[in-house]
Structure formats: C-alpha cells, structure tokens
Structure 1
Amino acid sequence: MSAENPRTPIYKDFVLIQLAIIVFVIDQFSKLIVRDQLLFRESFPDTGFFRFTHTFNTGSAFGIFQDQNTPLILVSAIGIAILVLIYRSQRVPTALLRLSLGLQVGGAFGNLIDRVRLGHVTDFIDVGDWPIFNMADASIITGLVIMAYIFLIADQGGSKASAPTSGYGWCPVCEGEMRTVAGGWRCSTCGVKERLIGSAH
C-alpha cells in the first residue's frame, strides 16, 4: 500500500452526503408546509412557549445581519467550501466529524437555496423569547457544537492515547488510526490487530 493517504472526496462519502440530503429535504419540506398552511406572521398554536410562526429572515441565523442577502449568499458558499476543506484535511474523518459536517452542509444548502430562490429565508420555529429559526439553522448550530467538541475537547484526550509512531501508526487495511493494546496495536476504525514487531511468531 502506498504511504500516501488516498483521501476519499467528500462527494463520495455516502453516509455524509446521505445525511446532508436528509437534512436538506426535511428543511425544505418543513418550510414549504409552513408557507402553504400559515399566513405571514400567523402562529400555531396562537399562544404558548413553543409555536410555529411563519416569518422570513433577510439576515443570517436567528435574525442577525438583516437585509444582507447577497453578501450572505457569498458567505454561505464560502462556508460550504471551508467545510469541504475541513473534511479533506483529515486523514481518516471520524464518524463524529462526518456527522457534524453532514448536518452543517445540509443546513447550509437549505438556507442557501432559500436566499437564491426567494431572497430571504423562511423561519418558523418559535420557542419562548428566542429568535425564530428553522430546521437548517438548528442543524448548522448542532453541527458546530459537535465540531467544537471534536477539536476543543475530544482531540485533547485523544492525543494522549495516540498510537506510537514506530511500528504501526496507521492501519495497513483502511488507513485508520492504530491504538496501543496488549501485545501490539489495534485499528480504531476496522479493528484489525497487528502484533508487536519482534513478538512471538
């Protein structure tokens, strides 16, 4: 096997793309239902802590940067490109990172399509005094929280348990990270195990 990592392009990552499509479809379908069933500024139910309120937003998530639709289209496109670069920067993207990116990519495309087609984003999830938002916003924020956990918390603990660079640093089968176990190393991705060099044959 070549020492060079054959990174999989993000568009060939079936699980990530499938998740992004699911998020996108749910977001667009929910907005379509709200636009069809509720008048502008109408709420269902009329009162309560949690309601569906039909409104739209010419700014970014949760109503900030109002009336900046064209710049936000550009920002959304750049944001999606950055997510692709983050994916490409990882030798073997973890399941948690793929979850984070799938949520963010799906949400970003959901709001981007609204901006291009309608000139604004449909919002409808009305919770207490919180700014009204939509499924795409919720997906993006959830993905960002997961990503923050990965890079700010999980990596700190993972670096302490990283496999030694001698012997088997990366799995010869799937390129996953090899971690130290009794008598050798085991791949954290596919589970293949390699014995210590020089161990009993």
Structure 2
Amino acid sequence: MAGRPRSLSSSKARQAAAGITIAILAVVVLAADQFTKHLALENLPYQEPVPVIGDFLILYLTKNPGAAFSLGEGVTWVFTIALAAVAVVIGWLAVTRVRSRLWAVALGLLLGGVLGNLTDRLFREPGFAVGHVIDFINTPWMWFFPGMSPAIYNVADIFIVSMMIGVAILVLAGVHLDGSREARGQGEQTDAAASDSPQTASED
C-alpha cells in the first residue's frame, strides 16, 4: 500500500512527459513543414521540374486539392475533416492515455505532419477548409504505380507515412500506449499497475 502513491505519481509524471514530448515534436514538424513550403513557393517555378539529383530527386512545385496521386480533388473538405479528426484523436490520446516514450515520439511526429497539411487545408487558397496542399518533392523511382503518375509530396507527408508505419510496428510489437508490453508466448497483456512498479516495469 505504501508504494501505490509513488506508482501513481510516477504514472502521472510519465503521462505528462509524454504529452510534452508529443507537443514539442508536433510543433517542430509543423514549423519545418510550413517553412519548407514557404521556401518552395518563394523559389520554385510553378509546375516545372527542377532536377536536384537527376531523376532520383526532383523539386516540382504544385498545389494539390486532393489526396495522394491527386485523388478526390472535388471533395477537398472531406480531407480537411479527416485531418482534423486525426489531430483531435492524437490530442486526446496525448492527454489521457499515452505514457510510453516510443508512442509519444511516433504520435508527436505524426501529429506534426497532420497539422502541417491541415494548416494548408484551412488557410491557403482557394479558401477556408478547402485550401490546396503545397507539394514540391518528387521521387519518381519510389512512388511509381502502373497507370498512375508519381506522387508529389511534402515534409508533412513524409512524417505522416513514416509514422503510420511506426505506429503499425508498435502495435505488432505489442507495445501499449502506457508502455507495457504483451507477455510473449502467453497472449496476455502485462498488467498496467505492474508496469508502474519499479521492480517490474519495462518502460518504453
């Protein structure tokens, strides 16, 4: 009984640290995304390829009203709602559930990417909630699919895609939002209270 207040305090401290980590990483990614988009708008010709490393890396400034591969161009508002919903869910998890460092990093970087494109949807032309996302990175060798043109993307997209993969890896590895892990070979979850105990916790 004497150890329970310390465990509760430790849990709250880890939750607060995770929330701060998510917020800081989200702000850093958002700033990097918007700064690179500003540079692209100021320095790149519109819809003209600028080779950087041959066909390996090309800068190509364009404005995308849809999703990847310009899908859904006529329903831009749907993507605005989807991005806002994802941002709200991540924010809720940050405040109420996340205590794992690994989850905090993954969700913070993912939130930053989501906010980067959401900012474009909300505040760029042609208007509020239907703004076009600024894309300027083209790597044809990476994104080629038969019948589709290569994707042109931005810094926010990089973090969204990579962190979605990161989240999938954490789920498959059995790492929970509170930092506990599923017991291997038994199919049972590690008890969250036990994960808070200094003797048994294996914090991620």
Assess, with a 3 A threshold, how the Cα gap between structure 1 residues 144 and 3 changes in structure 2: closer, same or farther.
Answer: same
The residue number in structure 2 matching 1:188 is 202
Q: Does residue 159 of structure 2 align to residue 139 of structure 1?
A: yes
Query: Residue 86 of structure 1: CA displacement?
Result: 3.6
Q: 1:81 to 1:3 in 2, by over 3 A?
A: same
**Is residue 172 of structure 2 the alignment partner of residue 160 of structure 1?**
no
Q: Alignment RMSD, CA only?
A: 3.2
* Distance 1:164-1:54 versus aligned 2 partners, 3 A rule: closer
Q: Aligned to 1:171, which of 196, 200, 204? A: 196
Cα deviations by residue, 1:50-79 (Å, 9 ceiling, x for unpaired): 111001110124432223222221111111
CA distance in 2, matches of 1:132, 1:113: 18
Question: What is the letter of the counterpart of residue 161 of structure 2?
Answer: I
**Is the partner of 2:136 in helix, strand or coil?**
strand
Following superposition of structure 1 onto structure 2, how do residues 20-169 of structure 1 map, counting pairs within 5 Å? 20-45=26-51, 48-88=55-95, 90=97, 93-118=99-124, 119-128=131-140, 129=144, 130-155=150-175, 158-160=181-183, 169=194
CA contact (8 A) 1:10 1:84 kept: no
- 1:14 Cα shift? 2.1
Which residue pairs with 2:147 in the alignment?
Answer: none
Contact 2:66 2:74 in 1 (8 A): yes
TM-score (norm 2): 0.72
Instruction: Give the conservation status (yes or no) of the 8 Å contact 1:101–1:143.
Output: yes
Moved more, 29-38 or 156-165: 156-165
In structure 1, C-alpha distance between the alignment counterparts of 2:172 and 2:65, rounded to whole Å: 32
- Which fold has the larger relative contact order, with Cα–Cα distance below 8 Å and residues 6 or more apart in sequence? 2
Change over 3 Å in CA distance of 1:74–1:94 after alignment to 2: same
Q: Which has the larger radius of gyration?
A: 1
Question: Counterparts of 2:84 and 2:171 in 1: how far apart (Å)?
Answer: 23
Higher deviation after alignment, 56-65 or 119-128? 56-65
Deviation at 1:142, TM superposition (A): 1.1
How far the C-alpha of 1:147 sits from its partner, in A, is 0.6
Cα separation, 2, equivalents of 1:164 and 1:116: 42
Aligned counterparts of 1:57 and 1:64: Cα–Cα separation in 2: 9
Could you tell me how far 1:108 is from its partner in structure 2? 0.8
Q: Indicate if the aligned counterparts of 1:96 and 1:146 stay in contact, CA closer than 8 A.
A: no
State the one-letter code of the partner of 1:93: R
Superposition deviation, residue 88 in structure 1: 4.8
Letter in 1 for 2:194: G
AA of the residue aligned to 1:160? A
CA contact (8 A) 2:33 2:155 kept: yes
Query: Is residue 195–residue 203 contact of structure 2 (8 Å, CA) maintained in 1?
Result: no
Query: 1:111–1:121: 8 Å Cα contact kept in structure 2?
Result: yes
Whole-Å Cα distance in 2 between the matches of residues 60 and 93 of structure 1?
A: 32
